[in-house]
Structure 1
């Protein structure tokens, strides 16, 4: 009995810990990639990220250019990145295809050399993680670095999929509310729903029953978005802030609050 137990224990320690599959569907048929297949690709290469969003330090990965994994993608397409923990974010294809500026990479965890745990008791980032080189050039937000990635798929524009999140047609195209809606999609919609609509399952709805603009002052809400721990000191909290101008400028933050304030007057109950 002891011998069998020891053999099982050795097997557990020798098996890959985080081997998994990644499904990619750009509308031309779904393709499932394994960690081993991605790591063995000819274009897989070492990539150094000086200020990694998830780990908050320099990280080195084995990674594949993300655009190389997305056949038939057009600049006006949108892609949805879905993580195993319920996080979901949309990224315009144009940003990924424009490799002359910021470049997106799919970092692939080697089961034999697992990544460290995320700081702040936030678990594990593997086995797939979208990282960026030169992200500030394209104003890539911290939400556009999805980890624990399970699926990438082409999708419709958010306003088409979730019309209750969009400002009414009467709102001018150059309104701060419309710009704030774009900022909301880039920064908030990855974790939150609004008016009961959205794919994410991590955070509360930002409009029903109450918008945060209804119970927090503008100054307090700005401080919270920059650093959630400034309002609620909670070590287990999952929300990460947007402390830098690179990820969320003051001007963009102002328009985000304008959008949330506007939507607080346009609640939709499902």
Structure 2
């Protein structure tokens, strides 16, 4: 049985007579396809497959060098899938996903040497590349999932909030793979941007190699260093410093010169000014003080603006 990912319904171009299917599932296998309307030998107009791309493939690298590439079927043969219930951060409610324990998956691909690495760099279908410290994978339990049992589509609806409440929303397809953290019992498990979706590859890297222009000066104070870690976790996925980082939001290299009032900058970080940027406090782990975290981020931004 073929099912279509919710926001990826087929589109037909009458000029080329091509039907484009961005994402379709056959069981839990994911494909993209182009079908062309042609007259077959029996004289009947039918759609025939013109191009078919298998998307449920996961590639592993180590410092940029290939370490293996596996289809979903191959992953299942080597590691039994597990159902895990988590608090879905986009809904703040419980969801169940099916996938592979990340630590066991890394052990099979890299051996135990991966535990001595610094970062895991994820690459999504659209080229988005978040990185997560290896320490988080050692301290908390995560799963690389490929399915939401009981739901026809492997997707979520992202609701963007601002200070006035819920704002706009959009459907986000999660496949081929979605990283989730076991956070029902573990209240300090990673949150927010540490749930990357549409994952197609992972690479073991050092952060300094990946983003040398983002690290603070070596003689920086402890508050600046802590602010750098907070910026990495909560800001860098959308904002850049010195040309490195995300492109969804504004470049923050000189933001402390443009907004010289610390209170104004603090208010902008904590509450956000638009419907796209989420407020900071819901992203924090339990026990973290939003004012302390905000001050550390500002200290880092000031150091980088020098």
Which band: TM-score by shorter chain?
Answer: 0.7 to 0.9
Preserved CA contact (<8 Å) 1:115 1:126:
yes
Partner of 1:62: 98
Looking at both structures, which has the greater relative contact order when contacts are Cα pairs under 8 Å and sequence separation is at least 6? 1
Question: SS of the counterpart of 1:105?
Answer: strand
Q: Is there any run of 5+ residues in structure 1 with no aligned partner, and where? A: 1-7, 266-270
Q: 1:103 aligns with which of 122, 141, 144?
A: 141
Matched, 1:36 2:80: no
Q: 2:279 aligns with which of 233, 241, 247?
A: 241
- Bigger CA drift: 19-28 or 175-184? 19-28
Question: SS of the counterpart of 1:240?
Answer: coil
Q: 1:220 to 1:88 in 2, by over 3 A?
A: farther
> 1:195 Cα shift?
0.7
Q: 1:77 aligns with which of 115, 118, 137?
A: 118
1:156-195 to 2 correspondence within 5 Å? 156-158=206-208, 160-172=209-221, 175-195=222-242
Q: Is there any run of 5+ residues in structure 2 with no aligned partner, and where? A: 1-17, 32-54, 159-168
Larger Rg: 2
Preserved CA contact (<8 Å) 1:46 1:62:
yes
Preserved CA contact (<8 Å) 2:89 2:191:
no
Q: 1:133 to 1:223 in 2, by over 3 A?
A: farther
Q: 1:246 to 1:13 in 2, by over 3 A?
A: closer
Preserved CA contact (<8 Å) 1:24 1:151:
yes
Preserved CA contact (<8 Å) 2:175 2:199:
yes
Q: Which has the higher strand share?
A: 2
> 1:197 Cα shift?
2.3
Q: Which has the higher helix share?
A: 1
Q: Deviations over 1:136-180 (max 9, x none)?
A: 55452411111111211011223x4433222222324xx211111
Q: 1:22 aligns with which of 58, 75, 94?
A: 58
> 1:97 Cα shift?
2.6
Q: 1:205 aligns with which of 246, 251, 263?
A: 251
Question: SS of the counterpart of 1:152?
Answer: strand
Preserved CA contact (<8 Å) 2:228 2:297:
yes
Matched, 1:121 2:170: yes
Equivalents in 2 of 1:186, 1:212: separation in Å? 19
Q: 2:199 aligns with which of 125, 139, 149?
A: 149
Equivalents in 2 of 1:142, 1:75: separation in Å? 25
> 1:219 Cα shift?
3.6
